Amino acid sequence: MVRKPPTKGQRKRLEKLLAQGEEVICVTSIGNIFFWSKVITYLPLAFLLIGLPKLLAIIRMRQSYTYALTNRRFLIIRGIFSRKIVTAPLGAITHVTVEQSFSQRFFYNTGHLVIITAGFDQREIVIENIANPVQFKILIEELTENIDKQKGKREDIQKEEGSQLRALEP
């Protein structure tokens, strides 16, 4: 998968949200092609005041939604003046679904990512118009698999230590 590393500015903005040893792997927002095609569509209508609300909504969406993937969790940061941060530990993600319409798939290369997390109410996180949704899904799955492997290794070590301690008991 081809992905650009986060910029220095993105890293700096996100570092205050990260735990010790946590590193940012990928930062994205709504797709560029989707954004600019909507701006070009609504700009002429904005002069007639018909498209102004739509134009402002797409600009607000671009400025206020940031999606970050770290080696431990997935973060959604929403807001410009006020802020809402939603996180999902990668170990709690049960599955990821990509939903794409015809135009999203072939013209914009965007889509909606639906992330289901484990827990009492099995939360559903929907990320709309994300750029390269299939690649982002694959990246989440790879990171989740790595975390599962690390958990398995830790459990094996703990079992081995426990059996060694039982063998030493009189």
Q: What is the DSSP string of 91-159?
A: GGEEEEEEE--HHIIIII-EEEEEEEE-SSS--EEEEEEEESHHHHHHHHHHHHHHHHHHHHHHHHHHH
Structural domain boundaries enclosing 59: 8-162
Residues 6+ apart with CB under 8 A from 73: 22, 87, 88, 89, 90
pLDDT in tens, 119-164: 766 678 888 888 888 988 998 888 888 887 777 666 666 666 555 5
- pLDDT tens sequence for the chain (170 residues): 446 678 888 888 888 888 888 888 888 888 888 888 888 888 887 777 777 788 788 888 777 788 888 988 888 888 878 888 888 888 888 889 999 999 888 888 889 999 888 876 667 888 888 888 898 899 888 888 888 777 766 666 666 655 555 555 55
Q: Is residue 169 one of the residues assigned to a domain?
A: no
**Length of the chain in terms of residues written:** 170
Q: Is residue 29 one of the residues assigned to a domain?
A: yes
pTM over the 0.95 mark: no
Rounded to 5°, the CA angle 56-61-64 comes to: 115
Q: Is residue 17 one of the residues assigned to a domain?
A: yes
Q: Looking up tokens 């903005």, which residue turns up? A: 13
Q: Is residue 3 one of the residues assigned to a domain?
A: no
Q: Is residue 1 one of the residues assigned to a domain?
A: no
151-156 long-range contacts (CB < 8 A, ≥24 apart) are 151/91
For residue 99, what pLDDT is reported? 93
Instruction: Provide the number of structural domains found in the chain.
Output: 1
The CATH number of whichever domain residue 23 belongs to comes to: 2.30.29.30
CB 46 within 8 A of CB 52: yes
Dihedral angle at the C-alpha atoms of 112, 116, 120, 121, nearest 10 degrees? 20
For residue 98, what pLDDT is reported? 93
Please count the helices (runs of H) and the strands (runs of E) in the chain: 5, 7
Q: Is residue 27 one of the residues assigned to a domain?
A: yes
Q: Is residue 157 one of the residues assigned to a domain?
A: yes
Q: Looking up tokens 């993937």, which residue turns up? A: 69
